[in-house]
Amino acid sequence: MAQAIRMAEFASRPELGALVVQPAHQAYRILHLGYFVLPLIAGADKYFNRLATWSDFLAPSLMRPIPHQETKVMYAAGAIEVLLALIVAFKPSVGAYLLALWLLAVIANLWLGQHYDMALRDFGLFLGALALGRLAQAYSRERVYVED
């Protein structure tokens, strides 16, 4: 009933659209923006190390086969994160799941490097990426339609 009343309030302003008042659509928009901007910033920072010295978080066991290549690994990770951010921006129904897979790899690296607190945090990001993927099934631009 409350949803119908809120929808009626916006009926006189069709430019806002019916979706604007739906909490699930608002959640989708928040996640969509966040999972575009945050990987973009983190990925770009792999080249500048302003937010963190990212190579400090590489698991030593993963770096043993390729010693002294931390910078190259970080540049590759940065490029992947920027690419994923762009995919999320333009095709969130696919990009969210690709980002979730990337986050699983990041979690594994953090776990192996004994950064358990950060692995737990990134598991939360993983769950958010999955939620974005599910919401994108309903709300991404290419799938939005008006029900009669």
Distance CA 89, CA 95 (A): 8
Please tell me the predicted confidence (pLDDT) of residue 46: 97
**Distance in angstroms (rounded) separating the CA atoms of residues 68 and 48:** 18
Closest CA to 38 of 80, 82, 74, 77: 82
Residue 42 is predicted with a pLDDT of 98
- From the number of C-beta atoms within 10 Å of its C-beta (0-12, 13-18, 19+), residue 116 rates as exposed
Instruction: Check residue 66 and give its pLDDT.
Output: 87
136 CB burial (10 A radius; 0-12, 13-18, 19+): buried
Residues of the chain with pLDDT under 50: 1-2, 4-7, 9-11, 144-148
pLDDT for 14 equals 53
Residues 9-31 pLDDT 10s:
444 555 555 656 789 999 999 99
Q: What is the pLDDT of residues 116-132, one digit of tens each?
A: 999 999 999 999 999 99
Classify the C-alpha dihedral 127-130-136-138 as positive or negative. negative
With a threshold of 0.95, does the pTM exceed it?
no
